[in-house]
Chain A
Amino acid sequence: MSHNRLIGGLLLATVALPAPVMAETFSLWVRADGSNFMPQIVEAFNAQSEHSAELQIVPTAELVQKYAIASAGGSAPDALSLDLIYTPAFGAAGQLRDLTEFAQDLDYFDSLSPAHLSVGTVEDRIYGLPFSADSSVLIWNKDLYREAGLDPDVAPTTWAEIREHAEAIDALGEETYGFYFSGACGGCNIFTFMPMVWASGGELFSSDGSEARFDSPQMREGVEFYRAMVEDGLVPAGSQTDGGINFFAAFANGNIGITPSGAFAIGALNTQYPDLDYGVSYLPGKDGAWSSFAGGDNFVVSAATDDDKMPAIEAFIEFAYSLEGQRLLAAGGALPVRSDIAEEALEGLDPRYILAADAMTNGRTPFSPVFNDLINSANGPWITTLNRAFYGTADEVGETLAQGEAEMQSIIDDAN
C-alpha cells in the first residue's frame, strides 16, 4: 500500500515539477517543539499564497543529525526552522544561504529579535532570521499556594523566598513537592537554571566564549541552592534522572509548587490543563534582579536550495512576520519575534504572555560553536557536572564544579 502511494507521489512530482508557473513549493522542517504553531502558519500560508510550503516535523533531538545526513545525500529540505543556538555552527560550515540582503530590505528589520540575529550572524553575514521565540520564566501553582496559606498572587523574588515557599508547599503532604527541575537535562538547565545565576552576577563563558567560567562563587551558590532543596526532599526523586521528558509534565500534574520553565508552558498548560491555576514570573537572582534565556528558532535556508524557490521562501518569511503570522505564532504558544507588533500580536491572549515577552527583552543567549557538546548533549560536561553536584553532598560542590570547568575548557580548546 505504501508502495503504491510512493509511486503516486513520484508521478505527482514528475507532473508538478516541469510546469513553468510562478507558484513554487518548498520543503520545510521544524523540530517537534514547534509542532504547536508551525502547522497552523503553514496551513494559513498555503491557503492564501500562490506558493506553498510542505512541512515536516522532526524529533527535536534528531533535527541536526537528520539535516546533516539529508544534506550529505542531497535531499536536504529547502528551509528549516532551526534551534537558534545551532545557527553559528551551520552557518560556519557553509550549509546555509546568505540572507543578508533580503533581511536588510525588510522595513521592520530593526525590530527583529536581537538575540536571534546575533547568533544568526556569522562574520557580518546573516544566515538565520528570527522565527519563534521562547523565554524562560518561573511558574508557580496558585492552588497549592492557597492550600499552604501563601499569597497566590505574589511570586518569589529571591532564592530564599523560593526555598521558603517550596518548604511550605512540600509540607502539604506526601505526594506534594515544593520544587521541580529536570536534573539530567542539559538543555532545560541552561534554559532555566543559568538565568538565575546570571541574575546573581555569574557567567558561564568569558565574553568571547574562549574560557569556561563554570566554577564561580555565584555558580556554587546556585548549585548549593538546588542541592539543599534536593537533600531536604523538596524535589521528587524522579528529577535526578529526568533528561527532559518531565520538564513540563511534572508541574502540569498539579503536585509541584514552583518550577522554572518557559513561555511555551503557558500555551501548553492553557490548552492541555485548563483547570490548573498558575502564575508566571521572572527567574530571580539570589537577592533579587532577574534574567532569562532568549531561546527559540531561527529560520534558515539550505545553501543548496534552488534560486527558483527563493520567492516562495521569502513570501513565507514575510507572511510569518505579518501581524497574522505573529498572531498565529503567539496563539500556538511561542512568543512573537517582531517587537514593534508584539503587543498587538499578543492582544487578547493570556496576559501572562506579556510577562514572558518582556522577559525576552532582557534575555540572553550564550554562544559557543561547541554548544551541543558542552551543554545539550546528555553526556556533556554541563549536565553531568550539575547532576553530580545537585545530588551530591555539600562539601563536594566546589570540587565537582572545578572538574566540570576543566572538562569544558578542554572541549573548547579542542575545537579551536
Chain B
Amino acid sequence: MIGLLYVAPALALVAVFFAIPLGMTIWMSLHDWPLMGQKRWVGFANYERMWGDSGFWGALSFTGTYTVAVTIGLLGLGMILALMVERPGRATAFYRTAYFLPVVIGFASASLLWAWLSNVDSGLFSPLMQNLGLTERRVNINADYGLAFWSVNVMVVWKMVGFFMVILMSGLQSIPRDYLEAARIDGAGALQRFRFITMPLVRRPFALALILCVSGSMLAFDQFYIILNGGPQNSTITAVYWIFNESFVSFRLGYGAALSVVLLGILLVLSAIQLRLLRDREDGS
C-alpha cells in the first residue's frame, strides 16, 4: 500500500486537472453551451448534428492524410538518420547534436520561424527560388494547397525527426554487435541483416515512436494555425483546429466538446491498435 502513497501526487494531479475536466467535457457535450449566456440540456443533439457536419469530417480526413504523410517522413527519415549516427565517435556526435537541435525549439517558435521563412515578401523560400532561377516570379507557397502542405511537413520533419532518431537509435545500439557480426560471417547481406536482425530488435522503440508520432500528429494544431491559418481556403484545417474554431471562434462549447469526445474515441482506437505492438513488454511487470 505504501506504493500508492508514492503514486498519490501524480494521481491527484491527473484526477483534478485531467479526469475532472474530461468528465466535464462529456457533460458539456450534452448541452447547448455558449461561451456567454445560458446553457441548455440538449441530450445527444450535438452528436446527431455531427453527422451532417461535412467540415468536421473533412478536417478529420485532412488530419489523417497529414498523419500518414508526416509519420512516414518522421519515422523513415528518423530511421535513416539513426543508422547514420548510431556509431560512437566525435563526428557522429556532432551530427547527432545538429539533427537533434531543432527538437528543443518549441512548436510555437518553430511555426513562427516558418511563417516568416515561407512569407512571400519577407521570407526566404520564395525569393531564394526566384534568385536561383527555379521560378520565374515569386511563388506564394502558402497560397497553393500542395506547396503549403509540403512546406508544413518539411517544417515538422525538420523540427521533430531528431526526437525519433534518438528513440530509434537507442534500439539500434541495444543490438549486440556479435549478432550482426555472426550474421555477416554466415553470409547475410546488409539488407538481410537489417530485415531479420535489426528490424525485429528495434520493434519496441519503433512501436513507441509510432505511437508518439501518430497521436502527436492526430492532434496537430499550432503549425497549421500559425503558418497557414487553415488556408488556402480552409484546406488545411485539422480536427483540433476545427474543434478550436467551434469552441473559441463560434463559441459553441457544447458542440466543440462533443467533437472532442469523438476525436478522443478515434485516438483511443488507434492507440489500442498500436499498443498491441507493445504488448509483450507489459507481461513482465
Give me the interface of A with B, judged by CB distance under 8 Å.
65, 68-69, 71-72, 89-90, 92-95, 184, 236-238, 240-241, 243, 246, 372-373, 377-379, 384, 387-388, 391
Contact residues in B for A65 (Cβ distance below 8 Å): 35, 248
* With A378-B231, A379-B230, A388-B233: A93-B37 Cβ-Cβ less than 8 Å: yes
Q: Is the beta-carbon distance between B231 and A387 smaller than 8 angstroms?
A: yes
B139 within 8 A of A: yes
Contact residues in A for B140 (Cβ distance below 8 Å): 237-238, 240-241
B237 within 8 A of A: yes
Interface of A is mostly: helix
Nearest B residue to A96 via CB reads B36
Q: For chain B residues 238-260, which have a beta carbon within 8 Å of chain A?
A: 245, 248-251
Partner of B249, one of A90, A241, A373, A387: A373
Interface of B is mostly: loop
* With A65-B248, A377-B249: A238-B232 Cβ-Cβ less than 8 Å: no
Assembly CA distance A170 to B55 (angstroms):
39
B109 within 8 A of A: no
Assembly CA distance A388 to B126 (angstroms):
22
Assembly CA distance A166 to B36 (angstroms):
46
Q: How many Å from the CB of A4 to the closest CB on chain B?
A: 27
Q: Is the beta-carbon distance between A387 and B232 smaller than 8 angstroms?
A: yes
Assembly CA distance A378 to B142 (angstroms):
15
For chain B, the count of residues having a C-beta within 8 Å of the partner chain is 27
Q: Is the beta-carbon distance between B36 and A240 smaller than 8 angstroms?
A: no
Q: How many Å from the CB of B56 to the closest CB on chain A?
A: 12
Contact residues in A for B142 (Cβ distance below 8 Å): 241
Assembly CA distance A215 to B139 (angstroms):
31
Contact residues in A for B139 (Cβ distance below 8 Å): 237
Assembly CA distance A387 to B234 (angstroms):
10
Assembly CA distance A94 to B230 (angstroms):
32
Partner of A241, one of B34, B232, B237: B232
> Could you name 9 residue pairs across A and B whose Cβ atoms are closer than 8 Å?
A93-B34, A184-B232, A240-B143, A372-B250, A377-B249, A378-B231, A379-B230, A379-B249, A384-B234
Assembly CA distance A72 to B37 (angstroms):
10
Q: How many Å from the CB of B234 to the closest CB on chain A?
A: 5
Q: Is the beta-carbon distance between A379 and B234 smaller than 8 angstroms?
A: yes
Assembly CA distance A71 to B36 (angstroms):
9
Contact residues in B for A93 (Cβ distance below 8 Å): 34, 36-37
Contact residues in A for B249 (Cβ distance below 8 Å): 372-373, 377, 379
Q: How many Å from the CB of B242 to the closest CB on chain A?
A: 9
Assembly CA distance A93 to B250 (angstroms):
14
Nearest A residue to B143 via CB reads A240
Assembly CA distance A96 to B233 (angstroms):
35
Contact residues in A for B120 (Cβ distance below 8 Å): 236-238, 241
Q: Is the beta-carbon distance between A243 and B232 smaller than 8 angstroms?
A: no
Q: How many Å from the CB of B50 to the closest CB on chain A?
A: 14
Q: How many Å from the CB of B135 to the closest CB on chain A?
A: 11
Q: How many Å from the CB of B40 to the closest CB on chain A?
A: 13
Contact residues in A for B203 (Cβ distance below 8 Å): none
Contact residues in B for A236 (Cβ distance below 8 Å): 120-121
B204 within 8 A of A: no
Contact residues in A for B173 (Cβ distance below 8 Å): none
Contact residues in B for A388 (Cβ distance below 8 Å): 233
Contact residues in A for B34 (Cβ distance below 8 Å): 93
Nearest B residue to A233 via CB reads B137
Contact residues in B for A377 (Cβ distance below 8 Å): 245, 249-250
Contact residues in B for A89 (Cβ distance below 8 Å): 36
Assembly CA distance A90 to B231 (angstroms):
29
Contact residues in A for B126 (Cβ distance below 8 Å): 237
